[in-house]
Amino acid sequence: MTDTLLNKISKSSNNTIITDAWLTGQTGEIVDIKGDYVFRFIDFIDNGELRHKHTTEESKLTCPIVATGLVGFWLHRKDDIGIKDIFEAYFKFRLEQYVSAHKYDDDAWERDLQKEFICHHHIPSEKNLIKESKALFAYITESDQKKLISVSSNYLKFARAKRKELYPPNHPSNRIIEDTFLDAYRMGGPAYECMEWMRIEYDMPNMGPHWHKSGKTRKELLTGKWKNHHDSFIPEYVAEEYEDFDDGVLIYTDGGLMDEINENLKNYSTYDDRVRYIISLLQPFKEFAAAFNSKEQTDERKRAIERCRNEMKSWENVADDAVDELTGEPLEASKQIEACKSFIDKYEQDIKYWKTVEDDFFWLAQHGLGAGKYRTFRCEVNDKMCKCLGRWWSLMITFSRRLAAVTLTYGIKLMDIQEQCGIYLNWHFMITDYVDHKFITSIDHAKKLLTDIENNKRKEIGEKLFKSNEEFDAWNYTCGLIRNAQKRIVLVDGYIDERILSLLTKREANVTATIYSRYNETIKTDIEKYNKQYSPIEYIQFSKAVHDRFLIIDDVVYHMGASVKDMGKSLCAVTKMNITPQEIIDNVTK
């Protein structure tokens, strides 16, 4: 048997090849009769002498179609131009066909026909044409079939890339890599859909088993288009997105994802803003992560159980014949106790159920990653979907470790943030630190950062105490605040001199400086001379008496226990305040 039969397929009726080599055992030709990239099998009568069975074109057009769409186009062009040129030419050909077919529609004036074709029509319709072209497989060799499968799958990949190139997602410029990565885990993304498919396929709904009312699983309840959606569309969608997904942005040091996140963290001036940003990075993982770690739901159930037990105790002290003082109705304490027991039982079922679901998801992911089976699953599983689930899970864990390393350098523990928002990407971290834009394996450095975080809680909230005669420490601390300013410095202090001007020379050139103080002719002269040489300082006199001193760095307000020029001479403190800068400025100026 020859390795290929593709060379016996005819591009036109003028140059046909009649053969009995087709795997079906039939004698005939595979030919594009009209030159429209639609190939049919034209059978012949062979009883010792070959004779035409179809003598007219109309008769030939009744023969079965065996190849069309991209496959038919490739059969025409494969010997003339390269595969990229074939893909580009076919894409253009189909786009022009679609626009031509719809440009006379009554509402064509308000439709973007190109976007309509590329984003919605082309790929689904092409999949159907590829399926239709599998009729050719009955006639050609196994190696030919593999070739057509490869060409078809690569074209679909090309079409998806074209769609993203021509109509990319609309992400903020500073979050393009980040949002593109996180989109996979958001609702509707491939990681999310893979997880949801697993829940339906293996009967692992979000709620416990006692919530099943019909006795049927979610999969058994699927019918019609929803059954087809689950059985065919979702596995195809997940596989395609899995194939196209660029995980290099995360797994390579120069991939760009962690650099983008680090730059964004730098642009936030306060601890709270950084925490909010980090939570926004965790939010897309919420549903996917909960499949593997249901701690938030479990903790809620444990609290509910504790409330029920406390309520039971209160009812145990109520006589069974007691009545409501307002209504006179019997309280029926025994029934209330039984109701509490019933709820406790259901909540405990939920906790046990979620633990089983966690174990099942972990097994499915590990199976997809090729890990040894430490136990068998309760049924046969879809290996392709397991492979996708395993990879999405692995990437989530890697992302959590990378993120934990970056946030640690800002004095933020990712474990604390997970507790705060109830989204647990990872429960046990293996720290790989991120220093100067390079990943390094350094457990000692990680331990040092963690220790610093634990030992400097007062520093984190901006509290600092200076004893008498600690002038240099106080000056050095204030210089650090000035150097850290990114946008503005505002000083509210009734007692200033040239030492304050010396302090403000340490700010960055693009950082504005404003001083609110009492009338002082000498300092006005000093500031005028300062402004001729350095980045200007705005000097504003108080409109009212102000006793305390405040230093505003960007959007953070510090209450200074002494005039800045005298800090450390005697016992004093600095405290970060939980108010906006505008509140201080308004009270000083109005």
Segment 267-287 mean pLDDT:
92
Domain ranges of the chain: 6-166, 295-355, 461-589
DSSP, res 4: -
Q: Is residue 32 within 8 Å of 12, Cβ to Cβ?
A: yes
Q: Please choose, from the candidates 30, 14, 245, the residue with its C-alpha nearest in 3D space to the C-alpha of residue 148.
A: 30
User: How far is residue 212's CA from residue 490's CA, in Å, rounded to a whole number?
Assistant: 62
DSSP assignment of 370-423: T---SS--SS---HHHHHHHHHHHHHHHHHHHHHHHHHHTTT--HHHHHHHHT-
| pLDDT of amino acid 446 | 59
Residue 432 has pLDDT above 60, yes or no: no
Class of CATH domain 461-589: alpha beta
| pLDDT of amino acid 130 | 95
- Express each pLDDT in 37-51 by its tens digit: 999 999 998 777 777
Residue with tokens 């062009």: 77
> pTM surpassing 0.85?
no
Segment 135-164 mean pLDDT:
94
How many Å separate Cα 342 from the centre of its chain?
39
Q: Which residues share a beta bridge with 466?
A: 572
pLDDT band at 344 (very low <50, low <70, confident <90, very high): very high
- Percent of the chain whose pLDDT exceeds 90: 48
- Express each pLDDT in 401-416 by its tens digit: 889 888 888 888 888 8
User: How far is residue 518's CA from residue 539's CA, in Å, rounded to a whole number?
Assistant: 10
Q: Indicate the helix (H) or strand (E) that contains 449.
A: helix 443-455
- Return mean pLDDT, the chain: 86
Residue 74 has pLDDT above 90, yes or no: yes
Q: Please choose, from the candidates 239, 252, 245, the residue with its C-alpha nearest in 3D space to the C-alpha of residue 368.
A: 239
pLDDT band at 536 (very low <50, low <70, confident <90, very high): confident
Q: Please choose, from the candidates 203, 524, 539, the residue with its C-alpha nearest in 3D space to the C-alpha of residue 361.
A: 203
Segment 308-322 mean pLDDT:
86
| pLDDT of amino acid 441 | 40
Which residues 6+ apart lie within 8 Å of 345 measured at CB?
none
- Percent of the chain whose pLDDT exceeds 70: 91
Q: Taking the alpha carbons of 214, 217, 218, 223 in that order, is the dihedral positive or negative?
A: negative
| pLDDT of amino acid 433 | 40
Which residues 6+ apart lie within 8 Å of 427 measured at CB?
293, 295
Structure tokens at 512: 């504005």
- Express each pLDDT in 174-216 by its tens digit: 888 899 999 999 999 999 999 999 999 999 988 766 666 667 8
The three-class DSSP label of residue 516 is strand
**Dihedral, 230, 236, 240, 245 alpha carbons, nearest 10:** 20
Segment 117-130 mean pLDDT:
94
User: How far is residue 549's CA from residue 563's CA, in Å, rounded to a whole number?
Assistant: 6
